[in-house]
Amino acid sequence: MEDEKCGCGGEETVKRPLEDDTEENSECCGPPQGRGVDCGDEASPEDLGCCEGPVEVKMGCCSASEPTKKDMAGGKETLLAAGGCCTEDGPQEDGCCSEAGPQEDAGCGCGCGGDFPDESLINNPVKPESIADPDFFDQLEQYAQLMGIVQIGYTHVTSELVNSKEHPQYLHAIVLTYQMGQDIIETPPGPEAQELNNATYTKLGRINYALSDFIRSRGFATQVAHPYGGLLNFSPLGQKAGLGWIGQSGLLISPELGPRMKISAILTSIENLPLKEPEDYSWIPDYCAVCGKCIKACPEEAMVEKESCCGMELEFIESRCIGCSQGCTYCIEECPFDKKGYQPVKIKFDKMNVKLAEKRSKDN
């Protein structure tokens, strides 16, 4: 009845029957990618000149070549041979990519949400185009995938997705996800984990700048939302772009990556983004309601369950989270979507619900 008072629909609060059978499951949340995380300043650009190609673009601290159609058709090897030295493979031994990484922003307790200078090499056109043809999006997606982007989605930015006082220049967003490496997951919180974490943000930032240059070279304008910056609230942005759903941990969970991802975005003047109908992720909150492994895994008790008129609600206390400042990933490690994968979790949950429904109908 209390539920009706606050208009929550009075749905039954599910307890945690998965407690036993999620022993081998695990892994959720993660460094607070979607929590306004991210800090500091990027390393200042310095083109060390190791990459030469037909059209040179710069990805943060290093230069690379924008691939031609032929390069893209040849796949990653051809792309790298053409000069794409700083892709997801990171720094080369010849020092092409310095790995200085973001510095902590002294104004933020957790070291997150700093401003980043736009390190795109190509300036925005004076009169940007606003309509792109389908070929453009095909090329953009191919280029993004060759550089290690796993998912690409599109959405329009609304005010609740803006995380900073800075006003976004464009409200059309290209949203990108990038996989976090196993090394980060396996390294306990501390300076080493933070360094690995920062390096991942830096790599994704460079990819953003390269894609920004690609888009600008086609006559459109962009504003890079660096993954370590505080301009946008990335998890809700990813959810709105149809890339996944936010789990109890506050992190985006996707079929491709579970919660093990970094998210970034490029805001653009392109108005006719190819918005896609997302798949049905509505079961994820139901699963989280019976799992709760990320809450138990958090060493800082950053996720606190509180009683409300709608049942138990989860409050995330950002100041406690050490995901950004120390590279903590315990809530990722314990999330079943990371340990088992998205589809196995879904299949198991569907089966459990069928059994529960059968039991209920027998009891009635």
Residues present in the chain in total: 364
Residue among 210 and 328 whose Cβ is closer to ligand SF4: 328
**What gap in Å lies between CA 341 and CA 33, rounded to an integer?**
19
| Footprint on this chain of ligand SF4 (rule: CB under 6 A) | 28-32, 247-249, 287-288, 291-294, 297-298, 300, 302-303, 321-323, 328, 330-331, 334-337
Indicate the Cα dihedral angle 276, 277, 280, 281, nearest 10°: 40
How far lies 191's CA from each of 37, 188, 316, 322, in Å? Answer: 17, 9, 24, 11
Nearest to 211 by CA among 320, 357, 84, 109: 84
* 206 token code pair: 């460079």
Residue among 181 and 219 whose Cβ is closer to ligand SF4: 181
* 318 token code pair: 């950002």
Residue whose beta carbon is closest to ligand SF4: 28
Q: How far is the CB of 190 from ligand SF4 (least distance, A)?
A: 12
Q: How far is the CB of 139 from ligand SF4 (least distance, A)?
A: 35
Residue among 150 and 290 whose Cβ is closer to ligand SF4: 290
What is the CA angle 100-104-110, rounded to 5?
A: 135
Q: How far is the CB of 33 from ligand SF4 (least distance, A)?
A: 9
Q: How far is the CB of 9 from ligand SF4 (least distance, A)?
A: 21
Residue among 32 and 114 whose Cβ is closer to ligand SF4: 32
Q: How far is the CB of 27 from ligand SF4 (least distance, A)?
A: 7
Query: Which 8-state DSSP code applies to residue 175?
Result: E
Residue among 23 and 277 whose Cβ is closer to ligand SF4: 23
**What gap in Å lies between CA 122 and CA 164, rounded to an integer?**
25
